[in-house]
Structure 1
């Protein structure tokens, strides 16, 4: 008879790593159960776990009989193989299953003084692929052995879960999941000894998906040919073509990842394989209702019983009982994408569009309510599915056209705030189909969406305004409507962003007028209009008006959205800005703190939270509490560092604010470092935008304060090169004025009389320009400041030599 060592040559395999929890579960169950099923995805490590368990825990007296079912083509081969393993003669007449099962059981009963462990590996072949007679005979053998042979235990490994209802508590089932990240990391390191993975280790661990086969194959790629492929090269290859990279022809067929998992999928019954291919059209997780709709099934109960349960039992799907959502394992997705096609793809696209348009609309409607947190949690789960929905606009036909127009009309806030990277292509697609299938009101709705993209995301304010104008010209012909109120409100915000605050107030009041006496569907427009009227009047220095609008907005938001909604936090933050502009720093700090506290409680977007942290830190610094300011700014930077792709706008804002805090502390060198970092990041974004100009001016000023006059002049002259672009983008900005004031002071201190006088003249021209802007915009507060400064400059020019 063969020994344990003959059956398991573990020395040639990779070191066993991880799965201690699984081993412990099996060990605890070992004394209480007689039959063990070890199930899981192909190449997840079932056989290796079983071998490791027996290596550690089998007793010296146990005789292991290992049977790999895969090469045994029929039940007669199985019978003969077991007899050889047990050292008993076969019976020539034992052709019927009852007969040969009785023969094996009888022999095992006779040898009751011996202890056996029967290990059946790869049993999915008998359970699924060799006919019902083979399956029933095999399961009958296992059941008879357990019932009659107290000296025998059975272990099954399979990709298909095996049920033994008749064995009751004698049967223990163990599902083998992919390795944990820490375990994958240890396995990867063990097979790449001497290779420095550096910053790419985390990416490689992620791409291994916890599957030992993938980890070992990636390790082979990294170590072969004396490391010709660097970790960076390997990650790039895996990201662009993981299947091809890990399936090259010089690998044995049983190691080629594509062959292993394609064969696994091919063994699935055709009806299930076709349904699985359709489900792969959903890129993220999905629930039963979404499966029902996508497969056009009659009821959820039917889809559970006839589709999900069989596929789940064969380990093609993962299921999370907490969220009640399913997912297709990553490497299987790649195989499905590469080797299988959806037969009725146009119909599937229509169903997908219908399903996830409803999901997106539902999330969008709840963003402005007390259900915001739940909506954001759902959005996080559905995000990849909604991304695909937006990209599917390129496949639009007349039967799906109306879905995409509905998204462009009702989901712009969600897209602008959380899906901006997909927004531009989506809206371009919507404009194309609106021109192809739509009416003028549909085109107007798309113009509003495009206007929001250009205004809020791209910063192309004039193009944004043009789109709003196109929408308004159409919608005004049809009288009062929710979309007309939306267009007025967003045009008002666009004009405010351009500095045209008097004109902005007119449009915001139009939006307010249409919304204030209308139904619930206008609530969001009403709240935004109130908010923007508060902000715009703050800029105009009309603080009584601003206060009225801000506090009305706050009151209504709390009533509609609840005390702890992120938009309530944003409203409080805006009130803080109003008091800051009014010159009341302590009141400003109070509202900043309240707004920040609410944003922390709620699932506010990270960018919004960072903005509040910056505002509050700046106010702490202004009121003499630099320590608290630094704590908040460090918190903001930590939040940004946790992002996969940190926002460059938010990162530069925190650098800039930290520079201001250091400057107030007198730590000029640290301030310079922060302003330089802010300048570098903003330069990457755009060399002609207002934030970049602002950072250059801050950097020039801090160089002046340190006596670095040459650096100050150099940076100031760089800032002046973008003067014209800045004036077009935001005519009311003060940064050119501040830059020229900085230069004039440097020339005065260095006794450069000619440049000093020349710079004062330039400063006077800039003040004249600002005077006209503030007059046009009705900004009396800043107008007074500019005229006071003009008077001082005239006096300086008269005294200049």
Structure 2
């Protein structure tokens, strides 16, 4: 029997009692202070005070709640902040202080949005984790208040944090007064006759709100517990606590809470210990599964409600999820161990593998927004799932293989900081417990990770090759076709177009000769073959593949499916490269119209808006172009997890439009914004080099020649790194052309000649690449440019 949550339980939140002077002190400082430190002993009510203050006094701001108890390291904290802000993680940003700059820049760019960031329970990051973690956390807080005028920060901790900044407000929260303690006790235990023991109970509670709530609930729910007995229990706990010199003074109160956990029945105590294995919040169904109860109704009434009544659990009425009170988690970790831990881990793996697969499957659908919201809530639990790969047994390894194979995009795009370690763990367990096919599936996931996230294309290709070698031993399969398709795309990105065509045709032939489950691979292969042939200038071939993909998608997915819109956009790119701008605009608009009317993934919609805007700009309608680009920015700003690369793309296109209109100041601003984002994502990606070249070109047009030279040299310093990943890219050539023109304008003859010689060498390199990869169209352009440069150098020599 399934029982609705509203029927299951109607809970009245405990009234907030006392603390009026504390609230007024914070409120008085709010308008002229930027960062607030709320300090005090454990369980004194710091978090609850902040919650009450924000609900009473703060409106029209975005509140980011970050409980640092959930995060074991900086990488986890960084990933969570990116999720909360709706941005992608930089793969290796957590390895230095780049992650701080990434977060700060994002907050700075949120025009019109005001934030309050609450860093709750920060003591471990200051005392336990590491000195480096402490310094990075403090650096983040400091940089936010120094550079983000739209952000205020609240820190709660048992350990004081000291900032010299005048805008820092430090406040020590004292325990509740005796009067307020007595009022709170009576509110939670109405009808209890305390008699002569009330003052003793209040005194022994030390003014700690959670302890008072637990005392009251114990008296209310346990008929055998009288006020007299409660006084005796508290006296015993206090004596034990005060004699335990192993704990710092501020930590000794944990023993008092331990005694309340001990007073739970064995059944409830063991359930609580098992629930603590879930690091974040959880719903009733997850609770049912982790403690292995038959029905959800049973777990609600037999487990959750009694724990809620005793204030051991919190309940979030908005999400209908539960969590263990913070200090009780500390007690559980310090004093108790999970019985049959391998079995609990197995249940955990099963539960959250299903959660992760479900979320992942919905990210590319009309349920995208709901899936992202769920992912944000589940993030601590899913991150633990990835890290639990190190505990895998033969009975559980298949869960992790499933995550790696079915959730590749989710891991790569939103959990990349843990991705490489996770995939390495999956490879190890596949070697231990799996078969060749398991290892091959992991190679496909790693191939995608290196190809699409890290842009380490050779490593990506190596993994695809390993997958192909393994799957070919077993004959034709969907996985083999997938590996060939992935390798073909990888080769395309490397500019190895002839190889890419051969591999993609293999994937296509395999898909065409197989069942309906191969249809999507066939369509991907057709799209990729179309793109590759456009690069080669083989427009007749490209047209055949692109229209074949369009026809197939309409047949399989319907005429208005978002991927039909993506096909139309690709056809627009084909006609643009061919020089038929009228047809290009026609197909761009048709694709954009479909994407607008359907639940299209944000990145795909933004790509169409950018392409169409660029086309309008080149045909002289910059007003229409800017309207489309502003529409794209509005869409991205609304997204919880909007892709940062898409922001960079739109800023870059806005730069081109403004450059076309000779609005150089606006163009510079847009190109700089695109550059900042691309630098955050990866300085080894070709788009970063592209942005440097675009910025240098604007500085040349502005006659800021010194800046142009500086930016150009920065671009040339990463030239070789980018060429290893994508040898066909033309941006070094464009950079050297810009630099040569500047030196000529400056009359620097030696530098001009030197740059022309470097440009000639770059053109020779590109000629070799285009010949090797069969790119006849670009080969012709390079050779024409080589002839011009050769003539210039010869004229100078005379």
TM-score, normalized by the shorter chain, greater than 0.5:
yes
* 2:315 alignment counterpart: 318
Give 1:502 deviation, angstroms. 1.0
Q: Aligned to 2:321, what secondary structure does the other structure show? A: strand
For residues 180-199 of structure 1, the aligned pairs below 5 Å read 191-195=26-30
* 1:657 alignment counterpart: 653
* 2:402 alignment counterpart: 406
Q: Does 1:237 align with 2:122?
A: yes
Residue 768 of structure 2: which of 766, 772, 781 is its match? 772
Give 1:683 deviation, angstroms. 3.8
* 2:92 alignment counterpart: none
Give 1:603 deviation, angstroms. 4.9
* 1:482 alignment counterpart: 478
Residue 40 of structure 1: which of 8, 12, 22 is its match? 12
Give 1:344 deviation, angstroms. 3.5
In 1: Cα distance, 2:37 partner to 2:282 partner? 27
Aligned length: 613
In 1: Cα distance, 2:610 partner to 2:589 partner? 11
Q: Does 1:538 align with 2:510?
A: no
Q: Deviations over 1:712-768 (max 9, x none)?
A: 233323322222222212111111111122223233334444433333333222222
Asked whether the 8 Å contact 2:122–2:157 carries over to 1, the reply is no
When residues 543 and 239 of structure 1 are mapped into structure 2, their CA distance, relative to the original with a 3 A threshold, is: farther
In 1: Cα distance, 2:379 partner to 2:679 partner? 31
Asked whether the 8 Å contact 2:288–2:294 carries over to 1, the reply is yes
* 1:357 alignment counterpart: 353
Give 1:663 deviation, angstroms. 0.6
In 2: Cα distance, 1:439 partner to 1:504 partner? 29
Q: Does 1:714 align with 2:710?
A: yes
Asked whether the 8 Å contact 1:531–1:549 carries over to 2, the reply is yes
Q: Aligned to 1:297, what secondary structure does the other structure show? A: coil
In 2: Cα distance, 1:209 partner to 1:540 partner? 64
When residues 188 and 636 of structure 1 are mapped into structure 2, their CA distance, relative to the original with a 3 A threshold, is: farther
Give 1:288 deviation, angstroms. 4.6
In 2: Cα distance, 1:703 partner to 1:754 partner? 21
* 2:502 alignment counterpart: 506
In 2: Cα distance, 1:192 partner to 1:723 partner? 54
Q: Deviations over 1:485-504 (max 9, x none)?
A: 11111111111111111101
Instruction: State the superposition RMSD in angstroms.
Output: 4.2
* 1:461 alignment counterpart: 457
Please identify the structure whose Cα radius of gyration is greater: 1
For residues 239-388 of structure 1, the aligned pairs below 5 Å read 240=125, 244=158, 251=175, 253-256=205-208, 259=211, 266=261, 269-283=265-279, 286-311=282-307, 316=313, 318=315, 326-328=321-323, 331=326, 334=329, 341-364=337-360, 382-388=378-384
- The range that moved more, 788-797 or 699-708, is 788-797
Give 1:680 deviation, angstroms. 3.9
When residues 538 and 297 of structure 1 are mapped into structure 2, their CA distance, relative to the original with a 3 A threshold, is: same
* 1:555 alignment counterpart: 551
- The range that moved more, 565-574 or 653-662, is 565-574
Give 1:190 deviation, angstroms. 5.7
Asked whether the 8 Å contact 2:455–2:684 carries over to 1, the reply is no
Gaps of 5+ in 2: 1-8, 57-115, 127-155, 161-170, 177-204, 218-259
- The range that moved more, 651-660 or 498-507, is 651-660
Give 1:254 deviation, angstroms. 4.7
Asked whether the 8 Å contact 2:45–2:210 carries over to 1, the reply is no
- The range that moved more, 339-348 or 651-660, is 339-348
* 2:389 alignment counterpart: 393
* 1:763 alignment counterpart: 759
In 1: Cα distance, 2:535 partner to 2:496 partner? 10
When residues 578 and 284 of structure 1 are mapped into structure 2, their CA distance, relative to the original with a 3 A threshold, is: farther
Asked whether the 8 Å contact 1:39–1:46 carries over to 2, the reply is no
Asked whether the 8 Å contact 1:370–1:561 carries over to 2, the reply is no
Give 1:376 deviation, angstroms. 6.3
Give 1:458 deviation, angstroms. 0.9
When residues 738 and 477 of structure 1 are mapped into structure 2, their CA distance, relative to the original with a 3 A threshold, is: same
When residues 373 and 329 of structure 1 are mapped into structure 2, their CA distance, relative to the original with a 3 A threshold, is: same
- The range that moved more, 536-545 or 552-561, is 552-561
In 2: Cα distance, 1:566 partner to 1:610 partner? 12
Give 1:653 deviation, angstroms. 2.8
For residues 516-527 of structure 1, the aligned pairs below 5 Å read 516-527=512-523
- The range that moved more, 510-519 or 292-301, is 292-301
Q: Aligned to 1:356, what secondary structure does the other structure show? A: helix
In 2: Cα distance, 1:520 partner to 1:387 partner? 35
Q: Aligned to 1:478, what secondary structure does the other structure show? A: coil
When residues 355 and 774 of structure 1 are mapped into structure 2, their CA distance, relative to the original with a 3 A threshold, is: same
In 1: Cα distance, 2:562 partner to 2:310 partner? 44
Gaps of 5+ in 1: 1-36, 53-185, 220-230
When residues 505 and 200 of structure 1 are mapped into structure 2, their CA distance, relative to the original with a 3 A threshold, is: farther
Asked whether the 8 Å contact 2:47–2:120 carries over to 1, the reply is no
Q: Deviations over 1:669-713 (max 9, x none)?
A: 222233233334434444454222212211221122222233323
Q: Aligned to 1:399, what secondary structure does the other structure show? A: coil
Give 1:47 deviation, angstroms. 6.2
Q: Aligned to 1:731, what secondary structure does the other structure show? A: coil
- The range that moved more, 460-469 or 373-382, is 373-382
Asked whether the 8 Å contact 1:280–1:333 carries over to 2, the reply is no
* 2:733 alignment counterpart: 737
When residues 587 and 389 of structure 1 are mapped into structure 2, their CA distance, relative to the original with a 3 A threshold, is: farther
Residue 695 of structure 2: which of 687, 694, 699 is its match? 699
- The range that moved more, 633-642 or 712-721, is 633-642
In 2: Cα distance, 1:473 partner to 1:356 partner? 32
Give 1:651 deviation, angstroms. 3.7
When residues 717 and 38 of structure 1 are mapped into structure 2, their CA distance, relative to the original with a 3 A threshold, is: closer
Asked whether the 8 Å contact 2:282–2:323 carries over to 1, the reply is no
In 2: Cα distance, 1:724 partner to 1:714 partner? 18
Q: Aligned to 1:541, what secondary structure does the other structure show? A: coil
When residues 718 and 211 of structure 1 are mapped into structure 2, their CA distance, relative to the original with a 3 A threshold, is: closer
Q: Aligned to 2:322, what secondary structure does the other structure show? A: strand
In 1: Cα distance, 2:368 partner to 2:512 partner? 23
When residues 569 and 431 of structure 1 are mapped into structure 2, their CA distance, relative to the original with a 3 A threshold, is: same
Q: Aligned to 1:573, what secondary structure does the other structure show? A: helix
In 1: Cα distance, 2:643 partner to 2:782 partner? 35
Give 1:549 deviation, angstroms. 2.4
For residues 101-180 of structure 1, the aligned pairs below 5 Å read none
Q: Aligned to 1:193, what secondary structure does the other structure show? A: helix
When residues 745 and 384 of structure 1 are mapped into structure 2, their CA distance, relative to the original with a 3 A threshold, is: same
Q: Aligned to 2:499, what secondary structure does the other structure show? A: helix
Asked whether the 8 Å contact 1:512–1:526 carries over to 2, the reply is yes
Residue 788 of structure 2: which of 792, 796, 799 is its match? 792
Higher relative contact order (CA 8 A, sep 6+): 2
In 1: Cα distance, 2:545 partner to 2:520 partner? 15
Q: Deviations over 1:624-669 (max 9, x none)?
A: 2323333343444455556678755344333322211111111112
* 1:515 alignment counterpart: 511
* 1:109 alignment counterpart: none
Give 1:478 deviation, angstroms. 1.9
